[in-house]
Amino acid sequence: MLTACSLLLSLLWLVSFGACPAGAADNAATHPIYATYQFDTSGKTIHFGVQPLAAPEGLIAAVMQRDPILRDRLRVLGLTLKFYPFQNGADANYFMRRGDIHIAMASGSSTLVGAAVSDISILARAKDGASSVVARKKINSLKDLKGKRVAYSTGSTAHIDLLMSLSALNLNAHEVILVPMEASQFIAALTNGQIDAFSAWEPTPSIARAESPILTTVLKVLNSGYLYANRSLLEHHPAAVDQILASYVRAIRWLWLHDKNLTRGAEWWIQEANAFLQKQIVVNPEVIKKIAFYEVLRFGDPVLPASDFAEHGYLHKRLQLLQAHGMIDPAVSWVKIRESLNSRALKKILDSPNKFRLNIFAYETR
Amino acid sequence: MNRAQRMSYARNVRGSLRMRMVLIFGLGSVVFFLAIRIVSFTGIPWLNFEGERDTFIHSAKQSLHSVADREEAAVQQWFQERLGNGRLAVAYPTFRKNAVSLSRIVQRLSGEPLSRVQRLLAEDGRYHHILGRLHLIERTFNHYDRIDMVDLVSGIRSVSSDETVAGTIAPYAKELQGGRTDEWGEKIFFSSEGSRAYMYLAFAINMEGEQSVAALVYRIDPATFLLQLFHESALLGVSGEIIMIDMQRKLLTPLKYNLPDGSAAQPLSYTLETKQAEIASLGIEALFSSVDYRGVPVIAAVRHVRVMPDFWLGLIVKRDEHEIYEPLRQSLFITGAVTGFGLVLLLALVAYVSGAITRSLESLSATARKIASGDLRARSPIAGKDEIAVLAGTFNKMADRIQQTHENLEMLVAARTEELAAANQLLRVEMQERLKTEDEIRRSEERFRLAMDAASDGLWDWDVSAGTVYYSPGYFRMLGYEPEGFDGIVDTWLKLLHPDDRAAAVEVIESCLQNKTEGFKVEFRMLAKDGTWRWILGRGRAVTRDADERATKMIGTHTDITERKHIENQLVQAQKMEAVGRLAGGVAHDFNNMLAIIFIALELIRMRLPMDNPAHEHLDSIEKAATRSRDIARQLLAFSRKQLILPRPCDLNVIIHELEKSLARLIGEDIEIRFFPGQELGSILIDPAQADQVLVNLAVNARDAMPHGGKLTIATANIIIDEAYCEKHPEARPGRHVRLSVSDEGVGMDKQTLAHIFEPFFTTKEVGKGTGLGLAMIYGIVKQNDGFVNVYSEVGSGTSFNLYFPRIDSAVHLPETPETLDVETGRGRILLVEDDESLCRVTKSIIEILGYTVETASSPAEALGLFEHECPDFALLLTDVVMPGMSGRDLAERIGEKCPGIKVIFMSGYTSSAIMHRGVLEKDMNFIQKPFSVKELAAKIGEVMRA
């Protein structure tokens, strides 16, 4: 059974996303929330695209927004940093391609799309998570989904993961009844029998599992995330990028340092989500904390995993899949993606913890 | 009991109440229990009721999930503990500082003998500090079989829990290279030492703000430690197995079973190429069916265990499908066995109980069967007082009634049977008569149908009141229509009538309809299927009329008279041509008489005028006009076949060859003449001059038809005309003919023009360019020579004239008339008989000029008067042929009777049957054609007088 909080969460998401399907970057230009964004064109403001509804990316961004050290260091450089919330990485990419967003955090698929269509530098790991297919009990495997209705958000990483997994297990996607649906409707639709399963990214699967014992996970697919910046930002403001990276590391270390920090971070994430949705949502912070710990904090500093960028590694396979599904131009080479990898920037920060005040924390509550 | 009785008994038993009870209650119970068992086993999907099978499979899969989750958590925990051990050690500043110092020492001693290096290290207190820590860690956690402190620059182990290897280069040193610690802070990797493979956990050591110079490396034996993680779980059964692979699908744990080739897979060297390994390498966690490394079907739960951002493991928990489903199979077997045993028991019980119940009923049933088979005296025994005994008693009473009724019924049936037999006989006779009548009607209808079908005429039957018409098959054949596409409405017939004939036809039919006439007969044209108009003779009469005497039903015929009409038209045309010919001949005759006067008068005037007299010019003009008039008269004669001719056997090919050059000059250079002479062409009898006239006139016509040039084709051929051809061409005569074809590519002619081309003075040429006598003359020449002519012409395509002449077998040569150039004079007395006074006078004058003495008579009677009493001394009788009262020939014969020696010359404007047949002079007959010149007359008189 669903609790009242999850139902409320679903309702709020339904209201906020009703007019704009998630993952549809084509709608980014006309999204009512984005329409209110005003981007500073003076060159003195760095625009950071974040996803307040995704965990753990949204949680780290929430901590960074409350980092006075970062703000002070940038002020010395004559710059300010402004955060712009987006509902997914595809939308952030849309504005980055337009030149309005300079730095962003998104999933592996969105990072690949960004690297394919824009000149970006991938600076740090954002998460090592997974998308999941959550189903009613008695459905134990993808094969059990044959003839069942599976909801998905069109174009999302979870959608791609589902198609890839069906193909890998020699199952025909046509044997599954795919139901396009807003992610915010997944849990309610699954509970009331409208669908038999859904494919989604965190925190929806965790919230669903925590709130409803009748649900089970039949599939999990590795879904990493990254912090990446427009290459022109590195060329024109390298010191500012250093400070942003330092703030990013500092946030992770602070969250790792103590459970109460993590709890505070989870609360900030909820605040940011409320602000984005312009509604009050109720969600157990422990769910968010668990996701953040498992997908980010347990690995320590967010160094880029070399294995992800290896030939035939995770990102290479993901690129081939996106190209096969027409989501990335087949002419884009793996070399171009590899050239986007920039591990030196973070290494420089990690090698000088005192200079970049990686272990000094002065977070404020807004 | 014989075989038949046994079979009958078996049939009875199968259908008996006892057997049905056994089947219904026995099998029904079995089916019921089986259904319950099946439902409990499979569940009811649409009711979401889960059966034993689903529960079991779900439980089995959940077990695999549980084991996989548990093992994944264990692996994660184990690795986090190990990483924690390493992080704890390198977290101590003193430990890090001493490690860095020792690294610098071994870097300095690099290249020194090992014993010296080991001795110097052993003398350093920092070495012992670190060595003590390493031993402490080994003992405390009991997971590492060796711990090394390695200098990252030289790869030399500065300290090792195995002191014997201190100072030596670490065998896994290359795994720590690659940018020193630039790229990693912690690292897990696999490497071999000697023949054994180990897993290593490395932790980089550096001072604050400096690069890493050393690494603390834990060596772990997978066989010893990783296996501790994977406890044999009861949930995995006997066949269950847990396999761990690295990022390259290298096997990390030994396999439970040998490979298909019998060998054992070696950890860290064997790459697992199964579906489970592939799924794990894709970062997918799922449960699915596939085959394992043995090729055995298994169900596997796969986990992707990310230990570090740059290091993950694949965990495969699998169990053979056969073992998973074995309990289900056992359950099914037991269910089957119990059901079978229960079925036997149940059947036996039901058979016993039903036997007790049905025994009395079977006795009653047997009695009933006997009665049914005709034994009406059979009765059922009555035993006891239960319901069946009461039933048996009642049954026996019913049998008594049946027996009695049966006997009465038999008598009644016999009487009724006799009555029916008599009625049946009567009916049979009536039916035979009826069949005979129907057969006669059918034959009559068949004869009528055949007659209608065979008739060439079209028969019709018009139901006037209904407006429908029946048409016979001959009707459709006549016009070419199909009966299926021809409706029987009278309006359809009316629409097919020629518009010019419709009013007349309707009028006569309407008269008949209104009883003004008894019947009707009318000719009209109807449109045939092929688009041509057919002449139809329609005849009909009314067969029934209403009270107002208006016809209600009419019948009649349609006869195709198209051919007859065609022949009639041709006949009319021929008659017209004949009449015109006669007219032309008469005109020519009078014309020639007048011309004869003119010519002779001209010559007389010339004789009397001096040569230098200017009036000669006027005389020349008069002579030209007279000559032109004579030509016209000759053409008229030719058309009217009154032309004097001298036919002789001719080869048309020779004539055409001789004339070809002249024709070419005549028609000009723009027209090409092509001549196709027929092979072995037969001879025809014709005056060569006529043949020339024909060819010249046809050539001139062709030239005029081709003002812009073209081809003129002349061809000859032998041809046989048959009777069939003659039926369609009345002018034709059957037999062998020679055909002369003259074709051009000119403008051609329409049908209306074609109908008149042979009429004299009919021309399509401009005024002054043609006399309209050319084709008329050709027509006359052909007819004069017993031939006939056909013309084919298409507007825009050209015209072809086909002239047919009778072919002759033998050649007859007639002597040619010698031509004299000078005026011949003579002596003697000549009687000139000419009814034309003027002509008589001038002829007399010219003969007298020639030296002869002339007596004239203006009529045959006057001439005969001179011979009434005597025979005067006339040497020659020169007489006209056509005269009132008597022909010149009759006159000559009468005079010849009295004066047999008198010579005779006939003169005429045209050939007369009186002296010649079809223009050919009779033998020994002298003739001079009017108008004649003085020279011609002198030559003729001289010729006859000398003879």
pLDDT 10s digits, A234-292: 999 999 999 999 999 999 999 998 999 999 999 999 999 888 878 777 788 888 998 99
User: pLDDT digits over B270-299, tens only?
Assistant: 899 999 998 888 888 889 989 999 999 999
Q: For residue B912, name the pLDDT band (cuts at 50, 70, 90).
A: low
B54, B183, B208, B288, best to mutate vs chain A, most A CBs in 10 Å: B288
Strand extents, DSSP E, chain A: 45-50, 80-85, 103-107, 120-136, 149-152, 177-180, 197-200, 215-230
Which residue of B62, B304, B310 is in closest CB contact with A307?
B310
Mean pLDDT, to the nearest integer, of B394-403?
84
Residue B760: per-residue pLDDT: 77
What is d(CA B820, CA B940) in angstroms, rounded to the nearest whole number? 10
More confident residue, A182 or B539: B539
Measured in residues, chain A has a length of: 366
- Identity at B420, one-letter amino acid code: L
What is d(CA B746, CA B712) in angstroms, rounded to the nearest whole number? 9
Mean pLDDT, to the nearest integer, of B367-381?
82
- Identity at B22, one-letter amino acid code: V
Residue B767: per-residue pLDDT: 59
Axis crossing angle, helix B125-141 with helix B93-108, rounded to the nearest 10: 120
Inter-chain residue contact A142 with B308, CB threshold 8 Å = no
Which residue of B50, B288, B304 is in closest CB contact with A169?
B288
Distance from CA of A283 to the nearest CA of B (A): 26
Instruction: Please compute, for residue B476, the number of CA atoms within 13 A of its CA located in the half-sphere on the CB side.
Output: 15
Alpha helix ranges (H) inside A77-220: 89-98, 108-117, 157-168, 186-191, 204-211
Mean pLDDT, to the nearest integer, of B402-409?
83
What is d(CA A290, CA B726) in angstroms, rounded to the nearest whole number? 121
Residues of chain A contacting residue B80, judged by C-beta atoms under 8 Å apart: 298
- Identity at B251, one-letter amino acid code: L
Beta bridge partners of A173: none
What is d(CA A139, CA B46) in angstroms, rounded to the nearest whole number? 15
Cα A364 to chain center, whole Å? 24
**A241 vs B: CB within 8 A:** no
More confident residue, A30 or B743: B743
Here the tokens at position B128 are 């012992």
Distance from CA of A57 to the nearest CA of B (A): 16
Query: Rounded mean pLDDT of chain B?
Result: 82
B189, B211, B310, best to mutate vs chain A, most A CBs in 10 Å: B310
| pLDDT reading at A22 higher than 80 | no
Q: For residue B813, name the pLDDT band (cuts at 50, 70, 90).
A: very low
Inter-chain residue contact B304 with A165, CB threshold 8 Å = no
Burial class (CB in 10 A: 0-12, 13-18, 19+), B401: exposed
Q: For residue A15, name the pLDDT band (cuts at 50, 70, 90).
A: very low
Which residue of B247, B286, B312 is in closest CB contact with A141?
B286
Residue B940 belongs to what H/E stretch?
helix B934-946
User: pLDDT digits over B690-725, tens only?
Assistant: 888 888 889 888 888 888 888 999 999 999 988 888
More confident residue, B558 or B19: B558
Which residue of B61, B62, B309 is in closest CB contact with A305?
B309
Which residue of A164, A303, A352 is in closest CB contact with B309?
A303
Residue B228: per-residue pLDDT: 64
Residue B120: per-residue pLDDT: 85
Q: A235: helix, coil or strand?
A: helix
- Chain B segment 67-86 residues within 8 A of A by beta carbon are 80
Residue B375: per-residue pLDDT: 82
What is d(CA A83, CA A275) in angstroms, rounded to the nearest whole number? 12
Token pair 């359809």 is found at B492
Q: Which long-range contacts (CB under 8 A, 24 or more apart) does B818-825 make?
A: B820/B935, B820/B939, B820/B942, B821/B935, B822/B935, B823/B850, B823/B934, B823/B935, B823/B938, B824/B850, B824/B938, B824/B939, B824/B941, B824/B942, B825/B850, B825/B851, B825/B938, B825/B942
Name which of A12-16, A293-297, B104-108 the model is least confident about. A12-16
User: pLDDT digits over B49-83, tens only?
Assistant: 667 777 888 888 888 888 888 888 888 888 888 88
Residue B766: per-residue pLDDT: 67
What is d(CA B35, CA B39) in angstroms, rounded to the nearest whole number? 6
Q: For residue B149, name the pLDDT band (cuts at 50, 70, 90).
A: very high
More confident residue, B487 or B140: B140
Residue B744: per-residue pLDDT: 92
Which residue of A138, A222, A306 is in closest CB contact with B50?
A138
Q: For residue B356, name the pLDDT band (cuts at 50, 70, 90).
A: low
- Identity at B311, one-letter amino acid code: F
| pLDDT reading at A17 higher than 60 | no
A141, A346, A349, A355, best to mutate vs chain B, most B CBs in 10 Å: A141
User: pLDDT digits over B406-434, tens only?
Assistant: 888 888 888 888 889 988 989 999 999 99
Q: For residue A365, name the pLDDT band (cuts at 50, 70, 90).
A: low
| pLDDT reading at B913 higher than 70 | no
Beta bridge partners of A225: A107, A127
A128, A132, A139, A140, best to mutate vs chain B, most B CBs in 10 Å: A140
**A141 vs B: CB within 8 A:** yes
- Per the rule left: phi > 0, alpha: psi between -120 and 50, beta: everything else, A348 is alpha
Which residue of B54, B184, B308 is in closest CB contact with A299?
B308
User: pLDDT digits over A154-204, tens only?
Assistant: 767 888 888 888 888 888 888 889 998 877 778 888 888 899 999 988 888
- Residue B417 Cα distances to B374, B407, B410, B428, angstroms: 21, 16, 10, 16
Residues of chain A contacting residue B50, judged by C-beta atoms under 8 Å apart: 138
Give the Cβ contact number of residue A285 at 10 Å: 17
Q: Which residue of B has its CA nearest to A224?
A: B309
| pLDDT reading at A9 higher than 90 | no
| Secondary-structure breakdown of chain B: helix, strand, coil percentages, each rounded to the nearest 5 | 50, 20, 30
Query: Rounded mean pLDDT of chain A?
Result: 84
| Maximum CA extent, chain A | 61
Which residue of A168, A347, A353 is in closest CB contact with B182?
A347
**A348 vs B: CB within 8 A:** no
| pLDDT reading at A65 higher than 90 | yes
Distance from CA of A9 to the nearest CA of B (A): 27
DSSP output for B131-142: HHHHHHHHHHH-
The answer to whether A275 touches A366, Cβ cutoff 8 Å, is: no
**B47 vs A: CB within 8 A:** no
DSSP output for B817-867: PPPP-SPP----EEEEE-S-HHHHHHHHHHHHHTT-EEEEESSHHHHHHHT
User: Among candidates B221, B202, B231, B121, which has minimal Cα distance to B165?
Assistant: B121
| pLDDT reading at A36 higher than 60 | yes
Which residue of A306, A343, A354 is in closest CB contact with B209?
A354
Distance from CA of A258 to the nearest CA of B (A): 17
What are the φ/ψ torsions at residue B172 (nearest 5 degrees)?
-100, 15
Inter-chain residue contact A220 with B308, CB threshold 8 Å = no
Q: What is this model's ipTM?
A: 0.81
- Chain A segment 282-341 residues within 8 A of B by beta carbon are 298-301, 303-308, 314, 317
- Identity at A163, one-letter amino acid code: L
Mean pLDDT, to the nearest integer, of A314-327?
83
Angle at B664 between CA B685 and CA B654, to 5 degrees: 30
Inter-chain residue contact A222 with B209, CB threshold 8 Å = no
Residue B455: per-residue pLDDT: 65
pTM check: above 0.80: no
Residue B821: per-residue pLDDT: 45
What is d(CA B318, CA B298) in angstroms, rounded to the nearest whole number? 6
Mean pLDDT, to the nearest integer, of A338-349?
90
Distance from CA of B150 to the nearest CA of A (A): 21
CB neighbour list of residue B532: distance below 8 Å, 6 or more residues apart: none
Residues of chain A contacting residue B62, judged by C-beta atoms under 8 Å apart: 140
Inter-chain residue contact B288 with A141, CB threshold 8 Å = yes
Name which of A178-182, B150-154, B216-220, B814-818 the model is least confident about. B814-818
Inter-chain residue contact A218 with B286, CB threshold 8 Å = yes
Name which of B148-152, B181-185, B320-324, B551-555 the model is least confident about. B181-185
Inter-chain residue contact B286 with A305, CB threshold 8 Å = no
| pLDDT reading at B225 higher than 70 | no
User: pLDDT digits over B819-875, tens only?
Assistant: 444 566 778 899 999 888 888 888 888 888 888 899 999 899 999 888 888 888 888
User: pLDDT digits over B507-529, tens only?
Assistant: 999 999 999 988 899 999 998 88
Residue B910: per-residue pLDDT: 65
Residues of chain A contacting residue B308, judged by C-beta atoms under 8 Å apart: 299, 305
Q: For residue A63, name the pLDDT band (cuts at 50, 70, 90).
A: very high
Q: For residue A4, name the pLDDT band (cuts at 50, 70, 90).
A: very low
The answer to whether B462 touches B474, Cβ cutoff 8 Å, is: no
